């Protein structure tokens, strides 16, 4: 009887030891999005829902964000291990915080082109960048399009613009009311927000930054130097699992929105499906992305962006392109082959 009890105890102890070993092999990753749970967040929520991160021995927790600047700061503080943020915001942090001990680094490009654009109502008479001269523009102070507007203005000889600041929910409302002449924002965010306020898409003039001489990159996956140093395999595993999920999302955006709905039950499925498709068509599967390759960057273009951000953001130090990007963890060429052929 005692021998039987001893055997049962030994088996139980072995099972607990094995369980502990498995748990020890799983790396926890706290991940911060750039914004709330909307269509484009499916790029991260789908690989989580499908178990791709889990299969890669990662325990990934994904939280909504409130802007790229906040994401960069939280990864820098150690509150998050990785995040999704506008590359310009990351560059600004590097240049303004040269002595920061934990400056995040971009490890994979996702939005190969900035999603920023200027938007106006057709009735305003604004048709081209030249029509913005002397006009009143509005956007939150931290908006990526507003921060980068000097680059857009320089490329298109725009001057005399005055700015009105507001909280994000009021941006499109103030444009509809006529309080401002135009706004800056991500195309796939503000265009659909205007529609939600009763404006037809054909009544909106959209001036996308990439179409008017602005070659900025958009959002990238960023990682903490601490994670990179202590567990580089986890960074590589995350990117591989993400690429697998991104391919699924890009091939079937409508199905992927179900994973967003799971995280936020009040999202409008039709609206968020359109938002995701718009993001894919404009900044993920763009001509530049197909030319450079999904997830990757072009060296001269990255250097040009570093110089432009230094000037437009008036940073304390010049941005060093070599310190903000680390492409050594990117998956294989086959794994990065996620874009539909055109």
Q: Are residues 107 and 221 in the same domain?
A: yes
In a domain, 330, yes or no: no
> Alpha helix locations (H) across 2-109?
2-25, 42-49, 52-55, 68-77, 87-96
Q: In terms of Cα–Cα distance, which of 290, 271, 95 is closest to 194? A: 271
Tokens of 212: 């008017």
Tokens of 101: 């001990």
pLDDT at residue 21 is higher than 50:
no
Q: Are residues 308 and 247 in the same domain?
A: yes
Q: Are residues 128 and 169 in the same domain?
A: yes
Q: Are residues 96 and 125 in the same domain?
A: no
In this structure, of 23-37, 218-232, 262-276, 282-296, the range with the lowest mean pLDDT score is 23-37
Q: At 223, which CATH number? A: 3.40.190.10
Alpha carbons 101 and 88: distance in angstroms, whole number = 20
Residue 149: per-residue pLDDT: 96
pLDDT at residue 251 is higher than 90:
yes
Record the pTM.
Answer: 0.91
> Alpha helix locations (H) across the chain?
2-25, 42-49, 52-55, 68-77, 87-96, 144-147, 149-156, 171-177, 187-196, 225-230, 232-251, 253-263, 269-279, 287-292, 299-312, 321-324
| Confidence label for 71 from pLDDT (cuts 50, 70 and 90) | very high
In a domain, 14, yes or no: no
Residue 306: per-residue pLDDT: 97
Q: In terms of Cα–Cα distance, which of 81, 101, 106 is closest to 321? A: 106
DSSP-derived pairing of the beta strands 82-86 and 162-164: unpaired
Alpha carbons 110 and 242: distance in angstroms, whole number = 10
Tokens of 138: 């509005």
Alpha carbons 191 and 210: distance in angstroms, whole number = 16
pLDDT at residue 12 is higher than 60:
no
Residue 8: per-residue pLDDT: 55
Q: In terms of Cα–Cα distance, which of 137, 317, 333, 335 is closest to 242? A: 335
Alpha carbons 274 and 278: distance in angstroms, whole number = 6
Q: Are residues 103 and 223 in the same domain?
A: yes
Domain residue limits at 229: 26-111+217-324
Q: Are residues 223 and 317 in the same domain?
A: yes
Q: What values do phi and psi take at 50, rounded to 5?
A: -80, -5
In a domain, 267, yes or no: yes
The residue from 157, 183, 212 where one domain ends is: 212
Chain-centroid distance of CA 253 in Å reads 17
Q: Are residues 319 and 237 in the same domain?
A: yes
Tokens of 25: 């092999």
Structural domain tally of the chain? 2
In a domain, 20, yes or no: no
pLDDT digits (tens, 9 = 90+) for 115-174: 999 999 999 999 999 999 999 999 999 899 999 999 999 999 999 999 999 999 999 999
Q: Are residues 204 and 298 in the same domain?
A: no
Query: Percent of the chain scored above 70 by pLDDT?
Result: 93
Q: Are residues 291 and 245 in the same domain?
A: yes
In a domain, 207, yes or no: yes
Q: In terms of Cα–Cα distance, which of 100, 30, 89 is closest to 58? A: 30
In a domain, 56, yes or no: yes
In a domain, 263, yes or no: yes
Q: Are residues 206 and 124 in the same domain?
A: yes
Q: Are residues 30 and 154 in the same domain?
A: no
Q: Are residues 107 and 130 in the same domain?
A: no
The residue from 154, 189, 212 where one domain ends is: 212
More confidently predicted of 24 and 166: 166
Q: Measured between alpha carbons, how far apart are the two ends of the chain, in Å?
A: 72
Chain-centroid distance of CA 272 in Å reads 16
pLDDT digits (tens, 9 = 90+) for 205-214: 999 999 999 9
| Confidence label for 341 from pLDDT (cuts 50, 70 and 90) | confident
In a domain, 19, yes or no: no
Query: Percent of the chain scored above 90 by pLDDT?
Result: 91
pLDDT digits (tens, 9 = 90+) for 189-203: 999 999 999 999 999
| Confidence label for 22 from pLDDT (cuts 50, 70 and 90) | very low
């Amino acid at each position: 009887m005692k021998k039987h009890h001893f055997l049962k105890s030994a088996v139980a102890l072995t099972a607990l030891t094995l369980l502990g070993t498995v748990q020890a092999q799983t790396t926890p990753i706290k991940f911060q999005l750039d914004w709330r749970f909307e269509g484009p967040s499916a790029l991260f929520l789908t690989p989580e829902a499908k178990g791709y991160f889990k299969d890669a021995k990662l325990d990934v927790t994904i939280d909504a964000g409130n802007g790229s600047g906040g994401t960069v700061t939280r990864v820098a503080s150690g509150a998050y291990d990785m995040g999704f943020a506008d590359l310009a915001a990351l560059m600004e942090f590097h240049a303004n915080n040269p002595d920061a001990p934990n400056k995040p680094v971009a490890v994979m490009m996702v939005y190969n082109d900035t999603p920023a654009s200027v938007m106006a109502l057709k009735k305003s008479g604004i048709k081209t960048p030249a029509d913005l001269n002397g006009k009143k523009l509005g956007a939150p102070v931290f908006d990526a399009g507003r921060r980068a507007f000097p680059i857009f203005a320089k490329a298109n000889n725009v001057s005399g613009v005055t700015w009105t600041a507001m909280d994000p929910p009021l941006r499109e409302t103030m444009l509809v009311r006529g309080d401002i002449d135009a706004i800056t924002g991500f195309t796939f965010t503000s265009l659909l927000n205007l529609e939600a306020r009763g404006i037809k898409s054909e009544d909106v003039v959209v001036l996308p930054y990439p179409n008017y001489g602005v070659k900025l990159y958009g959002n990238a996956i960023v990682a903490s130097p601490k994670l990179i140093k202590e567990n580089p395999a986890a960074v590589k595993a995350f990117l591989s699992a993400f690429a697998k999920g991104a391919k699924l999302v890009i091939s079937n955006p409508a199905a992927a929105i179900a994973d967003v709905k799971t995280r936020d039950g009040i999202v409008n499925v039709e609206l968020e499906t359109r938002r995701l498709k718009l993001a894919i068509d404009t900044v993920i599967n763009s001509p530049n992305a197909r030319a450079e390759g999904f997830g990757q960057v072009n060296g001269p273009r990255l250097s040009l962006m570093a110089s432009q951000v230094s000037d437009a953001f008036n940073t304390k130090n010049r941005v060093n392109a070599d310190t903000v990007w680390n492409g050594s963890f990117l998956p294989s060429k086959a794994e990065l082959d996620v874009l539909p052929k055109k």
